[in-house]
Structure 1
Amino acid sequence: MHGIPQFEVPAGAAATVKIIDTTSSLNLVPLGRLLEPPVHNVNHVPFLPVYSYYIESSDGRKVLFDLGTRKDMHNLSPSVYNRLPTTGWELRVEKNVIEILEESGYQGSNFEAIIWSHQHWDHIGDPSTFPDSVKLVVGPGFKDAYLPGYPERADSPILETDYRGREMIEIDFSESHTLTLGRLPAHDYFGDGSFYLLNCPGHAIGHLSALVRTSTNPDTFILLAADAVHDMGEIRPSEYLPLPKEIDLHHYGYPAPCPGHLVEMFQDSRGREPMQPLFIPSTAESLSTARATISKLQEADCQDNILAICGHDNALAEVIDLFPKSANHWKAKGWSGRIHWAFLRFYIPAFLSGGRG
């Protein structure tokens, strides 16, 4: 095991983070579509919920990081919508995020910005349901890659109505506008050290992740990886965070701890080393860049004061407090220990049921 790398974050304020179940999800996505190497007896990626994140600064500024899937999916850009029926995926969406917010007493005008982690349809929602005063924030290279939106540009994955009439801000990660957290270029969005946007390219052009400070004295953080990973098995285990001797999955219906050596056997059966992540991404705008981004995120993930989650993390709902409750007390409530290795519950039983040869 290598020593824990430095991941220093300048002193700052804390923000409030609330994790929103957007009521949208993906199912029956072939495992090989997102992850490799394959897993015997596992044909599909485990159920993929879709999350949005409410972020509020200490002085009351509010933003949303991602919006999930829009309820009227038939109004997606045709270049996206026409492709979805060919995938065989099972898609569900019940509400737009604005409806979920309004049910808890929030109005669209309460928010200063919507931040898109990237342009994919299950993250951009429907910004037109928010007032024009709400800005749209995107990552570097986004405008050149995807503007103008449909219908002016027929192949664009976004719509003109997503941004028409509102200010679109593309985050600048050049040296004069950024700092570095670990090896990740970062932008201090609120200017008080409570909420950083992270330059995490690879999965998509301009892909953003985020780091939210959830407490001070001591500092704790939640890392919102978005689609930099789709399964936490892409980031764990690592050279900094090896498999424990026993893995407690009783919160997910496993009465006895899973021996760590069993996971090592599983890794070996797939040509993986014990300290390599279970998976590597199989699909991305740039696979080499996506994998480099993951290696940088591993340096944050191994810190005991950072809870790393991804935009489709199916371990969350059974353990953490969801919107309208705050997720800030994750450390005190012991959530990290309960969800950290939860992804293994899908793969080790398949290994035991016949994949050991």
Structure 2
Amino acid sequence: MAVAASTEGVPLARVSRSQSLTAVRIWIYGLAALVVLMIAVGGATRLTGSGLSITEWKPVTGAIPPLTEQAWLAEFEKYKQISQYELLNKGMTLSEFKFIYAWEWGHRQLGRLIGLAFFLPLIWFWARGAIKGKLALTLLSIGALGGLQGTIGWIMVASGLEPGMTAVAPIKLALHLTVASIILVCLVWVASGLKDRSATDEVSAGSAPRILLGLILLQIALGGLVAGSKAGMTYNTWPLMDGALVPPSSALFSVKPWIENFVDNVVLVQFNHRLVAYALVAFALWHAWTMRRKAPDSKASRRATAMAGLTLGQMALGIVTLLLVVPLWAGLAHQVFAMAVLAMATVHARVSAP
């Protein structure tokens, strides 16, 4: 009886499937890298005050920037109608406007690129049978989340175009950053799950990696509030805030109603970001210690130790950013490194699951 063709005892069909999944995994990791780049450009757009320079949402025709002097003047005139120009940038030159316009246009253009980089390969892989069933539904859900993210981005920008506003609403900026982070988590989770780990000895780390991942997402959301309210521009000392380790309640809850303090009060917003940072680092150190006791030579233990080091490094970078009053390079480094910590935590949670 004929024997099916194989390579070193492995059926060719299985080899082909494995190669297809490897290609899919590389593609998804590439998408994750684009998302990180998108977040970095978004951070630069925010830190340079460029986010409101384009006052209209044109998903298709907006891909073409102004090409003539007349078109540039028309765009500049639209910007002059909003409060940010009147209250902050009145008298700016056309060349200065072109600079902030370029950041926002680049941010939106990168979003379009991610959309193409997602859907075109998805169709190709699907047509070849490399993607099907649950994986296909999962990726379509991530694509839908990406579309929702574009809508959230415009809602965020629109909040800054309202009369009297000179920046976007902090809660909407935090939501925009958090959804971007969730998309990154989904991509890395799926990609890391496609790697064949049947030949490796993985030790279960219990629920700690997923708790750590949740804490990191919470901290990123709080960081979005800090960025949106510009809370990092105040209380630029550490470990004390205005001479106290814990600010008085009269400062923490000075806004009425009290619930709005968590979004609009820069004292409480920054204090919460500090508190969760301490909790996150403490939990990461505890997790690394317990894993080194439980399985000192395991991959899970090494990943837990790496996570402890990454969270410590990110906290140190955050402190430097605060002390220097958020220069562009530090603010961007803090935001991008947060995505690296998040991606590593996602892999750790995915492959260390019980």
More helix by share: 2
Q: Taking structure 2 as the reference length, what is the TM-score of the superposition? A: 0.32
Which structure has the greater CA radius of gyration?
2
